[in-house]
């Protein structure tokens, strides 16, 4: 790696909606600049985790340094800093953008601007980034570059006369994109002489080297062997390894202002080197940390219990390991009479929760019961204390509480006009308060609602997608707590209250939810050899009840022509299903039942 | 592991005039009338079937039982049937007193045909009656009428085939308890040696699977079909039929010897499209589509290699053999012999089995009987000798509950989950 003057560095990221072709474009840039040759090219190089590749989304961001000889004959270093593409990780996005001077705004020419993209564009504008619009997938028959160009101009207020027409898949427009990055994105300010300040935009845990920290040097320079201090955590480390990402890690001796790289310094867990923290010199620290550091706060909580009580120590160990690599994951032991020992875990959002759950089951081979997600309620007791409740079963009894407040979010939905009606209906039914409606371009509308977060973390997103046939997109941000008439809904199975099924609902919706929930549980819990009553209650008052009739027969009538293998598979499947159920008293309850509250068909 | 040499053969004849609404067997529909084109189809199938038999290694033991199942084997001509039997005889030998069974459908044969089947060697037929209510027959897609049933039984009698069986289905859509009782009584009046009563299973890929939802109207409730099951047990037992398997009844001495091979987990050859075989510990299912089956036999013919895609690469574990044994053996009223189970699988494994079964023994679903049919259980302990069995009818009705428990404990497939 040759030393490069600050004037010939360009740091940029790519802003795009899921499926609009960000990863493919990143791949092409790496190929075009010869950073990765075609032989080494795995599809979608930047998405490292299997999970990401399967879901086609980026969860953990990555970075890549490319050498590029521009038309002016000069050699440039282009650093691509990737951003995660989901609302749960908007803080990480903001830090990545803060490490750049420019951004490619990639919009699918057959689709148009989506809510997520818009939110990130605004973040980029706040960070003073130069934005280069790229209309992607112009090779598709449905591409309407003119319409989308107009839409970007009207919605984002960005001049699109020079927007690049591209097809990352076909390699169209890729050279033009590289050339515009050099010409339009400003070089970083030359602040090499100032004391070191480097912005952490990502980090991950490596079993051999400790945490590997990705950063952008904002001021000064940093060398291997330097003793550095992390300004937020206050901890000091000696740099064992310093390097750049091209896109695999390549060691270098020194990096200076404007450059992007990584360090390994025997840091024990990612929470010691959080995203947004500032690296400075231990002996010659900067006077002020870089702005914008926030400690990510979990918004959504759920209980995680091993199906098999013997797996509790394994679950603890797995969470400890995941925590090394996930500063936003919170957990503490939880005991429930129904479920035994487990953990109450906090997440940034629903996707984050699903990812952690999936990794625990896939990478650590644990069978888990996950309870329905809950938000954090703010309860004022009659003694005037304020307590935060992240577990519905811990809600103080009505006679001990003065009021309950719940978190609200502002939700921005972008949708084709046709679906405005049904999406307003959806928002209304989720206790939404209408704030605004804007016509973006003919046929596309923004709806703005204020909604309780609790209503959003259920199936709001899925409902929005299905009601709009996948066309609407959304974005939300927390706007604070509001008082509401909330009650705790208890569920009893076979006469015993089941803590993990307890839920906090608005009083006006309690009857509907109670009825729908008992019906759903009746559907999900298999028949047993005895009749099982299922009840929903507020305090001691039962508001809905159902019962699962006793099983009358369970027999395979025929074992035809000696073909036992098919019947055997059936029994194996049943046995496997039963093993994954949680025994609540004498009733076997399947995993899905604990998420039943998310699957209700509410009016 | 040493395996017993097979001395039974199942032959699948996949042709049917139409597909019944409940059927998910590997069949090939030929229409209501035989003509040049579909008889050619059947003739070709018989050629390939005979090729398969000729390619199959014989272990030297002659066949004690042969079973023609379908499909509708009675769509074969007597010549076609004798040809298959000849080929079997040449390849393996067929014992003089072998049981040769054949499934036949009402309305598909005349006196000549059934007589020639008999002279070809068939000594047992099983008639697919299903129901004695015209509206139930047509609503489940059967091609025959109630009159056809009586005519066919008459022909069977005339041909001198006194060993015949009738098949009935309970739990059909719209079927009532009294209709079921009527079917049972009508069947008894026809004096079959053997009766099979099958509780309808709704298979997802069938027309029934697409129209009906288990447990919902117009299907009778589980309560009703359980009642039908108990009724069959009472009515048939008092008419002198022994309830010897979950769905099968016979007069003394007339149990189906071929089917017992399956329930005793013994080995058997299988021939024809979709047929399964169990030879040398290897369970193999043939391709379930005509063309794929032809290709498979052809490939074998050309390369000399029997390509068994489903062939297991590793030796099958003892737990798996034990589960197979229990799964089929508990279907029999007599159950399984404790002493032979112990001998084959060891004391410890059988104690483990008993640990699973104890709660069901207390519930009255499982019992251990001595040779004089007395319960041998004292204090829930496992006796040394005796037959471990499900009770009739309650244990049979809940046999899956018991089996699932055993699978939970012994299925290694599941506990050794791959990452």
DSSP-assigned letters across all residues of B335-359:
-EEHHHHHHHH-HHHHHHHHHHHHH
Cβ neighbourhood burial of A334 (10 Å; 0-12, 13-18, 19+)? buried
CA dist A197 → A221, A528, A583, B340 (Å):
8, 64, 55, 79
Measured on CA atoms in the order B99, B105, B110, B111, is the torsion positive or negative? positive
Which residues in chain A have Cβ-Cβ distances shorter than 8 Å to B405? 575
Inter-axis angle of helices A115-126 and A90-98, nearest 10:
40
Q: How close does chain A come to B151, measured CA to CA in Å?
A: 27
Q: Tell me how far apart the alpha carbons of residues A131 and A464 are, in angstroms, rounded to a whole number.
A: 29
Quote the minimal CA–CA distance from A572 to chain B in Å. Answer: 6
Burial of residue A421 (number of CB atoms within 10 Å: 0-12, 13-18, 19+): exposed
Residue A28 phi/psi, 5-degree rounding, is -65, -40
CA distances from A54 to A43, A48, A50, A462, A563 (A): 12, 11, 6, 19, 36
What Rg value do the Cα atoms of chain A yield, rounded? Answer: 27
Q: What is the CA radius of gyration of chain B?
A: 22
Where is A145: in which H helix or E strand?
Answer: helix A145-156
Interface contact A553-B328, CB threshold 8 A? no
The pLDDT, as a whole number, for residue A87 is 61
Contact A434, A427 (CB under 8 A): yes
Q: CA–CA separation, A36 vs A31, rounded Å?
A: 5
Question: Which of chain A's residues have a Cβ under 8 Å away from the Cβ of B221?
Answer: 552
Q: Is A232 exposed, middle or buried (0-12, 13-18, 19+ CB in 10 A)?
A: middle
Cβ neighbour number for residue B38 with a 10 Å cutoff: 17
Closest residue by Cα to residue B8 from B270, B256, B255? B270
In B, which residues are within 8 Å of A560 by CB distance? Answer: 25, 69
CB-based contact, A553 to chain B, within 8 Å: yes
Backbone angles phi, psi at A275, to 5 degrees: -60, 130
Q: Report the DSSP pairing between strands A254-256 and A221-223.
A: antiparallel
Q: pLDDT band at B312, cuts 50/70/90?
A: very low
How far is A256 from A9, CA to CA, in rounded Å? 11
- Tokens 């719940």 sit at which residue? A406
CB contact under 8 A, A553 and B262: no
Q: How far is CA B151 from the centre of its chain?
A: 25
In whole angstroms, what is the distance from residue B201 CA to residue B170 CA? 10
Q: How far apart are CA A527 and CA A548, in angstroms?
A: 6
Contact A443, A416 (CB under 8 A): yes
Residue with tokens 């209906």: A425
The Cα angle at residue A112 between residues A109 and A117, in degrees rounded to 5 = 115
Closest CB from A553, A556, A565 relative to B283: A565
Coil, helix or strand at residue A484: coil
DSSP annotation of B52 reads H
Tokens representing B66 are: 């042969």
Check CB contact of A126 with chain B, cutoff 8 Å. no
* pLDDT at residue A53, rounded to an integer: 45
Nearest to B400 among A362, A552, A554 (CB): A554
- Reference A36, options A65, A79, A3; nearest CA is A65
Q: Any chain B CB within 8 A of the CB of A565?
A: yes
Query: What CATH number labels B8-263?
Result: 3.80.30.20
Q: Which stretches of A249-368 are DSSP H helices?
A: 312-324, 350-363
Chosen from B213, B401, B419 to mutate, greatest number of chain A CBs within 10 A: B401
Of A362, A551, A553, the CB nearest to B229: A553
Rounded to whole angstroms, the Cα distance separating B131 from B163 reads 20
pLDDT at A42: 56
If DSSP codes are grouped into helix, strand and coil, which group holds residue A454?
helix
Cβ contacts of A568 on chain B, cutoff 8 Å: 323-324, 327
User: Which conformational region is residue A233 in: left (phi greater than 0), alpha (psi within -120 to 50 degrees), or beta?
Assistant: alpha
Residues of A in contact with B201 (CB under 8 A): 556-558
Per the model's pLDDT, the better-predicted residue between B307 and B12 turns out to be B12
Instruction: Specify burial of residue A285 (Cβ count, 10 A radius: 0-12, 13-18, 19+).
Output: middle
Angle at which helices B318-329 and B347-362 cross, to 10°: 40
- Are A556 and B399 within 8 A, CB to CB? yes
Min Cα distance A271 → chain B (Å) is 29
Give the separation between CA B252 and CA A101, rounded to whole angstroms.
92
Reported as half-sphere exposure (CB side, CA atoms, 13 A), residue A574 has a value of 19
Classify the phi-psi angles of B291: left when phi > 0, otherwise alpha if psi is within -120 to 50, otherwise beta: alpha
Instruction: Count the neighbouring beta carbons within 10 Å of the beta carbon of residue B88.
Output: 25
Shortest alpha-carbon distance between residue B36 and chain A (Å): 30
Strand spans (E) along A146-209: 164-165, 197-206
Nearest-Cα distance to chain A for B189, in Å, is 24
CB distance A562–B261 less than 8 Å? yes
- pLDDT for the residue B307: 66
Largest Cα–Cα separation, chain A = 85
Residue A289 contacts residue A259 (beta carbons within 8 Å): no
Residues of chain A with pLDDT under 50: 46-47, 52-59, 61, 603
The whole-angstrom separation of Cα A415 and Cα A423 is 9
Instruction: Give pLDDT, residue B288.
Output: 93
**Distance (Å) of CA B76 to CA A78, A482, B93:** 77, 79, 22
Measured in angstroms, the CA of B252 and the nearest CA of chain A are apart by 22
Asked if B201 lies within 8 A of A553 by C-beta distance, the reply is no
Contact assignment for B417 to A554 by CB distance below 8 Å: no
């Amino acid at each position: 790696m040759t030393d490069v003057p600050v004037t010939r560095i360009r740091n940029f990221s790519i802003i795009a909606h899921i499926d609009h072709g960000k990863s493919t474009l990143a791949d092409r840039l790496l190929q075009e600049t010869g950073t990765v040759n075609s032989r080494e090219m795995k599809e979608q190089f930047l998405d490292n985790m299997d999970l990401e590749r399967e879901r086609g989304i980026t969860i953990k961001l990555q970075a890549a340094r490319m050498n590029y000889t521009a038309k002016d004959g000069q050699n440039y270093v282009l650093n691509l800093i990737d951003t995660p593409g989901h609302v749960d990780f908007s803080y990480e996005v903001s830090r990545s953008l803060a490490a750049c001077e420019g951004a490619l705004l990639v919009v699918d020419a057959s689709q148009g601007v989506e809510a997520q993209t818009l939110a990130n564009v605004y973040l980029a504008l706040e960070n003073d980034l130069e934005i280069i619009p790229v209309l992607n997938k112009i090779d598709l028959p449905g591409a309407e570059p003119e319409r989308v160009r107009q839409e970007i101009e009207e919605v984002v207020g960005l001049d699109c006369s020079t927007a690049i027409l591209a097809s990352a898949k076909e390699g169209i427009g890729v050279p033009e994109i590289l050339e515009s990055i050099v010409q339009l994105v400003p070089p970083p300010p030359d602040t090499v002489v100032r004391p070191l300040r480097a912005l952490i935009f990502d980090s991950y845990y490596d079993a051999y080297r400790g945490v590997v920290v990705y950063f952008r040097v904002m001021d000064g320079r940093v060398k291997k062997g330097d003793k550095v201090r992390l300004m937020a955590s206050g901890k000091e480390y000696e740099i064992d390894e310093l390097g750049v990402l091209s896109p695999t890690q390549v060691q270098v001796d020194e990096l200076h202002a404007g450059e992007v790289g990584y360090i390994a310094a025997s840091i024990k867990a990612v929470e010691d080197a959080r995203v947004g923290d500032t690296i400075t010199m231990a002996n010659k620290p900067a006077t002020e940390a870089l702005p914008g550091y926030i400690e990510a706060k979990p918004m959504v909580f759920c209980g995680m219990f091993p199906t098999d009580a013997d797996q509790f120590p394994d679950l603890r160990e797995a969470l400890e390991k995941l925590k090394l690599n996930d500063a936003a994951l919170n957990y503490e032991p939880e005991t429930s009479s129904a479920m035994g020992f487990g953990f109450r875990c906090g997440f940034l959002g629903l996707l984050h929760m699903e990812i952690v759950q999936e990794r625990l089951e896939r990478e650590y081979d644990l069978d888990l019961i996950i309870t329905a997600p809950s938000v954090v309620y703010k309860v004022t007791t009659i003694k005037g204390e304020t307590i935060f409740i992240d577990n519905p079963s811990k809600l103080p009894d009505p006679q001990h509480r003065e009021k309950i407040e719940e978190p609200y979010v502002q939700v921005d939905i972008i949708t084709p006009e046709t679906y405005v009606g049904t999406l307003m209906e959806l928002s209304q039914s989720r206790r939404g308060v209408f704030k605004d409606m804007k016509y973006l371009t003919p046929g596309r509308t923004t709806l703005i609602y204020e909604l309780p977060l609790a209503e959003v973390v259920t199936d709001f997103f899925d409902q929005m997608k299905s009601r709009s046939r996948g066309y609407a997109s959304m974005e939300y941000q927390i706007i604070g707590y509001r008082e509401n008439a909330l009650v705790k809904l208890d569920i009893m199975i076979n006469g015993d209250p089941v803590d993990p099924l307890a839920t906090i609902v608005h009083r006006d919706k309690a009857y509907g939810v109670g009825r729908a929930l008992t019906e759903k549980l009746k559907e999900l819990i298999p028949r047993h050899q005895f009749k099982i009553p299922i009840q929903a209650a507020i305090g001691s008052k039962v508001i809905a009840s159902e019962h699962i009739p006793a099983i009358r027969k369970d027999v395979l009538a025929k074992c035809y022509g000696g073909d036992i293998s098919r019947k055997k598979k059936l029994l194996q499947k049943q046995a496997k299903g039963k093993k994954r159920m949680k025994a609540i008293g004498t009733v076997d309850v399947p995993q899905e039942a604990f998420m039943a509250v998310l699957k209700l068909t509410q009016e | 592991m040493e395996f017993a040499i097979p001395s039974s053969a199942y032959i699948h004849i996949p042709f049917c005039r139409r597909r019944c609404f409940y059927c998910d067997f590997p069949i090939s529909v030929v229409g209501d009338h035989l003509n040049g084109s579909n008889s050619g189809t059947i003739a070709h199938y018989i050629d390939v079937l005979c090729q398969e038999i000729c390619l199959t290694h014989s272990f030297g033991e002659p066949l004690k039982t042969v079973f023609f199942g379908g499909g509708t084997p009675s769509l074969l001509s007597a010549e076609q049937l004798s040809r298959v039997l000849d080929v079997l005889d040449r390849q393996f030998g067929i014992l003089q007193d072998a049981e040769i069974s054949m499934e036949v459908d009402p309305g598909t044969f005349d006196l000549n045909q059934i007589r020639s089947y008999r002279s070809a060697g068939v000594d047992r037929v099983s008639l697919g009656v299903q129901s004695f209510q015209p509206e139930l027959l047509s609503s489940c897609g059967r091609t025959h009428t109630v009159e056809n049933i009586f005519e066919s039984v008459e022909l069977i009698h005339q041909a001198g085939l006194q060993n015949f069986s009738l098949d009935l289905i309970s739990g059909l859509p719209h079927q009532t308890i009294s209709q079921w009782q009527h079917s049972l009584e009508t069947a008894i009046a026809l004096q079959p040696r053997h009766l099979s009563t099958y509780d309808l299973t709704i298979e997802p890929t069938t027309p029934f699977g697409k129209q009906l939802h288990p447990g919902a109207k117009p299907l009778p409730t589980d309560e009703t079909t359980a009642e039908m099951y108990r009724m069959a047990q009472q009515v048939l037992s008092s008419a002198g039929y022994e309830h010897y398997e979950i769905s099968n009844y016979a007069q003394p001495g007339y149990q189906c010897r071929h089917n017992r091979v399956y329930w005793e987990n013994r080995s058997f050859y299988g021939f024809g499209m979709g047929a399964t075989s169990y030879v040398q510990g290897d369970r193999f299912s043939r391709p379930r589509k005509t063309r794929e089956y032809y290709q498979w036999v052809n490939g074998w013919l050309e390369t000399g290699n029997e390509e068994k895609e489903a062939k297991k690469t590793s030796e099958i574990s003892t737990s798996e053999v034990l589960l197979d044994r229990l799964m089929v053996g508990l279907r029999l009223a007599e159950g399984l012999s404790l002493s032979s189970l112990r001998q084959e699988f060891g004391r410890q494994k059988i104690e483990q089995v008993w640990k699973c079964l104890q709660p069901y023994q207390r519930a009255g679903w499982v019992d251990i009987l001595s040779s004089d049919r007395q319960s041998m259980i004292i204090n829930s302990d496992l006796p040394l000798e005796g037959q471990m069995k499900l009770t009739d009818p309650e244990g049979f009705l809940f046999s899956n509950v018991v089996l699932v428990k055993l699978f939970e404990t012994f299925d290694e497939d599941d506990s050794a989950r791959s990452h």
